[in-house]
Amino acid sequence: MARASSRDRTRGTVAPRSIAASRTTETPAPGAAPAAAAPRGLGRLTRNWTVRTRVLTTLLALIAIGLAITGALTFAAQFRALDQRVDAELWQEYSELELIAQSTGDDGNPTHTTVDSVLLRATDSAAPSDHESVIAMIDEEPRYQPRQQDFALLPQATEDMTVSEAATVREESERVRQQLLAAHAPNSTVIVPMEVHGRDLRVLIASVTVAGDPAQGLFVVANDIGAQRTELWRSVAVFTMLAVLALLLAGGVGYIVTGRLLRPLEDLRAATEQITVADLEYRVPVPAGGDEISALATNFNRMLGRIQEGFAEQRRFMSDVGHELRTPLTIVRGTLETTDVDDPADVAESHGIAMDELDRMGRVVGDLSELAASSRPDYVKPRPIDLDAFTRSAFARIEHIAERTWILEHSVDVVADADEQRLTQAVVQLAANAARYSDEGTRVWFAVDRVLGPDGPEIHVSVRDEGIGIALEDQRRIFERFARIDASRGSGSGLGLPIVRAIAEGHGGVVRLFSEPGHGSTFTVVFPQHRPHAPAVGESAAPHTGGREAPLTDDETDRPTRTDRPARKEQG
């Protein structure tokens, strides 16, 4: 019976995979060489790039990396699929040979009884595909090959060849025949790589023997895998060119798009160059839409507004300071220039006037220092204090300020988070104002209450007098620096109430004012009993004071500070 040995199929399929693996491992990883060769000064170079260049470069780099990875994985899979397809086609030819060798007639006897018959039938029925060549050999000599095939594995000399050409062909054919015989493994089938006629081939060599026939046959199928790899490499080149064109197109479109997206930032940069200390009125245009750039422009304009207000306040402050210090200096200078040095009484009077004005200047400078210190975050240092003890201590201080009827109206026995020293300072200042703007013998009430507010328990520290009161239009400005209602009532610096407000805000609270001309005033420092955190500098709730933008309403002016106030208690 005819047979075709297939004992070495595994061996034949391992070799091409090993070749593919070695080729893959020799290929450098994408991006490895540029990374190794990157100059050390690249970081310094990119620092000078614009935002537009950085964004565009990053996007193009990501696109390039994505295309490179996609292309590498895709073509690696295609090369692997090519190796597997070629092997499958070679083994398909072997399967057809095996069917021919094992075919039987109607009587059950083998159809082919000689090696020659098997190989002749296999060669006639073979239909080599593109890049394939088939040849049959008997006893190491070529015998049959298909009439039509892509190329001849063992070409024969033809009559139209010259002698030298024919000799060359015969010599090349003999060399290939020797390669095939050397690669042949007796009684087995192998697939080996060979380079023949400048072609990179994958060759299947199958041994063919028939029982009773001493002849030894070889069935050889060669597949030009090199040509197919060349076609794949052309596809790689085409993909690379298209990827480069895509990158160029993406770069051009990205350049235009990023330019439009970043145009508001460029406008913002140009606008900032036009803003100077002398002109803070300019505002940057806010682009339409609600994106981050619009928010940036809006916040920038708000920042300019705060800076403008700060500069205006600073100018007003310096003007007020200059005026407040210039007046006593002018008085001292005028007094000294007109003093009769020979008149002891005149000298004594001038000395008294100069000392009074210098004391006034000292108070102004001290209050300015105090007001400047109030902007520091550590100006108020709250800690738990006993409000009942604080109330009695503060009342003991203020009842000696002036000849008034001082009344401790209410105290509360609770603990609160407050700076006792600053809070006492605010109470003394409010009491001094009450004495200054009220007549001798009138009453001044002092009270400390605990009231349930909208955000939790609040502490209300209030000073109420029977003085001249404050007109509604004046209530909006008395908390400004150097503001005075009635200069005839004393020589205060005009900084007391701003300091009180700073102390209240340092406690996370506000100062409330309820007043009516001719019916006295009530100043109340309101702050939370317990504070989870200290407020930021300059941050406070909207105060019920003259410093707010909206004027106090009549209801706020007339209503009492508390509705649950107990009966008054007069301290003798």
Tokens representing residue 74 in the block = 């895709």
Exposure pattern of 528-542 as b/e (b: 16+ CB <10 Å)? bbebeebbeeeebee
Name the least confident of 353-357, 416-420, 450-454, 466-470.
353-357
Name every residue whose Cβ is closer than 8 Å to that of residue 470 and which is 6 or more positions away in sequence. 478, 485, 513, 515, 517, 521
Nearest of 543, 541, 528, 407 to residue 463 by alpha carbon:
407
Tokens representing residue 220 in the block = 């050889």
* CB-based contact 400:484 (threshold 8 Å): no
A 10 A CB-CB count for 386 gives 14
Name the least confident of 149-158, 182-191, 358-367, 428-437.
358-367
The answer, yes or no, to whether residue 374 has pLDDT greater than 70, is no
The answer, yes or no, to whether residue 45 has pLDDT greater than 60, is no
Percent of the chain whose pLDDT exceeds 90? 30
Residue 334 DSSP class: H
Burial class of residue 22 in the structure, from the number of CB atoms within 10 Å of its CB (0-12 exposed, 13-18 middle, 19+ buried): exposed
The answer, yes or no, to whether residue 147 has pLDDT greater than 90, is no
Percent of the chain whose pLDDT exceeds 70? 80
Q: What are phi and psi of 473, to 5 degrees?
A: -70, -25
CA distances to 128, 195, 228, 248 from 224, rounded to whole Å, are 11, 9, 7, 37
Angle, helices 263-274 vs 225-261, to 10°: value is 40
pLDDT at 371: 67
Q: How far is it, in rounded angstroms, from Cα 240 to Cα 234?
A: 10
Q: How far is it, in rounded angstroms, from Cα 353 to Cα 349?
A: 6
Q: How confident is the model at residue 158 (pLDDT cuts 50, 70, 90)?
A: confident
Task: Give the 3-state secondary structure of 496-565.
Answer: HHHHHHHHHHHCCCEEEEEECCCCCEEEEEEEECCCCCCCCCCCCCCCCCCCCCCCCCHHHHHCCCCCCC
Beta bridge partners of 355: none
Tokens representing residue 285 in the block = 């245009």
Q: How far is it, in rounded angstroms, from Cα 202 to Cα 85?
A: 11
Tokens representing residue 117 in the block = 């018959």
pLDDT at 533: 55
Name every residue whose Cβ is closer than 8 Å to that of residue 447 and which is 6 or more positions away in sequence. 408, 409, 410, 411, 460, 461, 462, 464, 561, 565
pLDDT at 206: 93
In this structure, CATH architecture of domain 275-375: Orthogonal Bundle (1.10)
Q: How confident is the model at residue 483 (pLDDT cuts 50, 70, 90)?
A: low
Would you put residue 508 in left (φ > 0), alpha (ψ -120 to 50) or beta?
A: left
Q: For residue 308, how many C-alpha atoms fall within 13 Å in the half-sphere facing its CB?
A: 14
Is 380-528 the same fold as 275-375? Answer: no
Tokens representing residue 510 in the block = 């506000």
Which residue has better confidence, 484 or 110?
110
Helices (H), 115-222: 115-125, 163-183
**For 516-528, how does the pLDDT look when each residue is reduced to its tens digit (9 = 90+)?**
888 899 999 999 9
**For 485-519, how does the pLDDT look when each residue is reduced to its tens digit (9 = 90+)?**
655 555 556 677 888 888 898 899 999 999 888 88
| 3-state DSSP assignment of residue 465 | strand
The answer, yes or no, to whether residue 388 has pLDDT greater than 90, is yes
The answer, yes or no, to whether residue 481 has pLDDT greater than 80, is no
| Averaged pLDDT, 533-540 | 43
The answer, yes or no, to whether residue 40 has pLDDT greater than 70, is no
Average pLDDT of the chain, as a whole number? 79
pTM metric for this prediction: 0.49
Nearest of 225, 203, 221, 228 to residue 133 by alpha carbon:
221
Q: How confident is the model at residue 320 (pLDDT cuts 50, 70, 90)?
A: low
Nearest of 431, 442, 491, 503 to residue 467 by alpha carbon:
442
Look-up of token digits 């990883």: 29
Burial class of residue 388 in the structure, from the number of CB atoms within 10 Å of its CB (0-12 exposed, 13-18 middle, 19+ buried): middle
Q: How far is it, in rounded angstroms, from Cα 448 to Cα 82?
A: 93
Q: How confident is the model at residue 22 (pLDDT cuts 50, 70, 90)?
A: very low
Q: What is the third-level CATH fold of 380-528?
A: Heat Shock Protein 90 (3.30.565)
Helices (H), 102-224: 115-125, 163-183
Name the least confident of 41-55, 75-89, 398-412, 557-571.
557-571
What is the four-CA torsion angle of 450, 454, 455, 460, rounded to 10 degrees?
A: -30
Q: How confident is the model at residue 551 (pLDDT cuts 50, 70, 90)?
A: very low
pLDDT at 268: 78
**For 56-93, how does the pLDDT look when each residue is reduced to its tens digit (9 = 90+)?**
999 999 999 999 999 999 999 999 999 999 999 999 98
pLDDT at 568: 36
The answer, yes or no, to whether residue 204 has pLDDT greater than 90, is yes
**What percent of the chain is helix, strand and coil (3-state, nearest 5)?**
50, 15, 30
Q: How confident is the model at residue 406 (pLDDT cuts 50, 70, 90)?
A: very high
| Averaged pLDDT, 560-572 | 35
Q: How confident is the model at residue 544 (pLDDT cuts 50, 70, 90)?
A: very low
Tokens representing residue 44 in the block = 């310094």
Which residue ranges make up each domain of the chain? 51-274, 275-375, 380-528
Q: How confident is the model at residue 416 (pLDDT cuts 50, 70, 90)?
A: very high
Q: How confident is the model at residue 482 (pLDDT cuts 50, 70, 90)?
A: low
**For 443-476, how does the pLDDT look when each residue is reduced to its tens digit (9 = 90+)?**
999 999 999 988 889 999 999 999 888 888 878 7
pLDDT at 291: 78
Q: How confident is the model at residue 43 (pLDDT cuts 50, 70, 90)?
A: low
